[in-house]
């Protein structure tokens, strides 16, 4: 597995998003099978594992803690996110969760659930303009104390990123980025390059849409996020077919899968960008991690972008819709 760097933190070129092991995409694997799959990903070169305290209201962190406890701590990167307001089960949190006291209490809870004494990448999960400067200040203290190695922001604007970075150097941001969502190319990605900030990509395959495996006839479990993501509306699946056709064309030429083209496109853009992919089957782990070895040439990348520019995208992944199901646990957990 190839690696990339977020500041001084070395991460695998593709990370594993652990959210789906406890919620978000319908019935998931059992806890035992989930742990086995996390270990399988590690054995195949993945060293970065992403979670958040909001996922399944603390339960996802607990799962990740169990899954990682038997792996060598110095060989894995834990990417965790803290929510700006109280979650069920966090009654001990001070009234202002984004105060220094609140952040410290939130972090201690995550450390306990993750069964570790430090977190490599600790990210503010939802932007809060009012508390941004205080959060940045506290992150600096936590880094000095060794509680975290680096910190980040989720989906910040360029101005928010500049403000936070001026107080405590930001290690990474985590935002959606894919062939279906390219808005960050205008200012945020260039700013990350200028400031030396890493970019973690969530939903690099448009919640699986870019794999080309879904049709307008597919039905999703009631607890599956795709029931509220408008890209998966029947009319939008049909309307976005030109994008799938384009990806399929490149996949045939490169003798790989469509999912691998979607990931390879992200990796080709900049060496500080790392996609985090949800993978809940061995074959998906092999396929997605294998995308690190699929290389687009400069000419292919330019040509692909030119063709992407001509395609209109229908539907999106709206956070307000996601919030409706973002914490619903699978029956297995």
3-state secondary structure string across 74-100 = HHCEEEEEECCCCCCCCCCCCCCCCCH
Assess contact for 279 and 50: CB atoms under 8 A. Answer: no
Q: What is the pLDDT of residues 60-108, one digit of tens each?
A: 999 999 999 999 999 999 999 999 999 998 887 888 999 999 999 999 9
Cα distance between residue 234 and residue 216, in whole Å: 5
Nearest to 37, CA basis, from 276, 319, 239, 286 = 286
Q: Can you give the pTM of this predicted structure?
A: 0.91
The pLDDT-based confidence of 329 (bands split at 50, 70, 90) is very low
* Residues with catalytic roles: 55
Q: Give CA angle at 109 (80, 61), nearest 5°.
A: 45
Distances (CA, A) of 55 to 22, 95, 245: 8, 21, 34
Assess contact for 178 and 315: CB atoms under 8 A. Answer: no
Assess contact for 81 and 125: CB atoms under 8 A. Answer: yes
Q: What is the pLDDT of residues 278-293, one digit of tens each?
A: 999 999 999 999 999 9
280: number of Cβ within 10 Å: 18
Ordered alpha helix ranges (H), the chain: 31-43, 59-68, 100-114, 132-144, 158-167, 188-195, 234-239, 241-254, 258-269, 282-290, 298-309, 319-323
- Report the topology of domain 3-323: TIM Barrel (3.20.20)
Nearest to 236, CA basis, from 221, 214, 258, 251 = 214
Mean pLDDT of the chain: 91
Q: Give CA angle at 79 (75, 81), nearest 5°.
A: 160
Instruction: State the average pLDDT over residues 262-285.
Output: 97
Per-residue confidence (pLDDT) for residue 227, from 0 to 100: 62
Residue 297 above 50 pLDDT?
Answer: yes
Per-residue confidence (pLDDT) for residue 228, from 0 to 100: 65
């Amino acid at each position: 597995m190839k690696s990339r760097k977020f500041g001084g933190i070395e991460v695998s070129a593709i990370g594993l998003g652990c959210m789906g092991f406890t919620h978000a995409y319908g019935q998931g694997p059992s806890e035992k099978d989930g742990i086995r799959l996390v270990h399988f990903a590690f054995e195949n070169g993945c060293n970065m594992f992403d979670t958040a305290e909001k996922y399944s209201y603390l339960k996802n962190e607990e799962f990740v803690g169990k899954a990682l406890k038997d792996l060598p701590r110095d060989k894995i990167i834990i990417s965790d996110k803290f929510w700006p307001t109280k979650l069920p089960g966090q009654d001990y949190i001070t009234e202002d969760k984004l105060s220094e006291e609140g952040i410290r209490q939130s972090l201690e809870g995550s450390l306990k659930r993750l069964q570790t004494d430090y977190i490599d990448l600790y990210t503010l999960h939802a932007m809060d303009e009012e508390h941004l400067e205080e959060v940045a200040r506290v992150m600096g203290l936590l880094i000095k104390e060794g509680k975290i190695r680096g910190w980040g922001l989720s989906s910040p604007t360029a101005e928010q990123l500049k403000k936070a970075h001026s107080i405590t150097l930001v290690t990474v941001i985590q935002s959606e980025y894919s062939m279906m969502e390219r808005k960050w190319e205008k200012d945020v990605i260039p700013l990350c390059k200028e400031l030396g900030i890493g970019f973690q990509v969530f939903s690099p395959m448009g919640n699986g849409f870019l794999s080309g495996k879904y049709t307008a006839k597919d039905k999703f479990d009631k607890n599956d996020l795709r029931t509220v993501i408008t890209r998966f509306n029947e009319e939008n699946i049909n309307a976005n077919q030109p994008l799938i056709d384009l990806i399929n064309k490149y996949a045939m030429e490169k003798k790989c899968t469509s999912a691998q083209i979607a990931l390879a496109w992200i990796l080709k853009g900049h060496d500080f960008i790392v996609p985090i992919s949800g993978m809940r089957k061995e074959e998906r782990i092999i396929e997605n991690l294998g995308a690190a070895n699929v290389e687009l040439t400069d000419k292919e990348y330019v040509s692909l972008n030119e063709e992407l520019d001509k395609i209109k995208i229908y539907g999106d992944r709206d956070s307000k819709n996601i919030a409706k199901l973002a914490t619903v646990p699978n029956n297995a957990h």
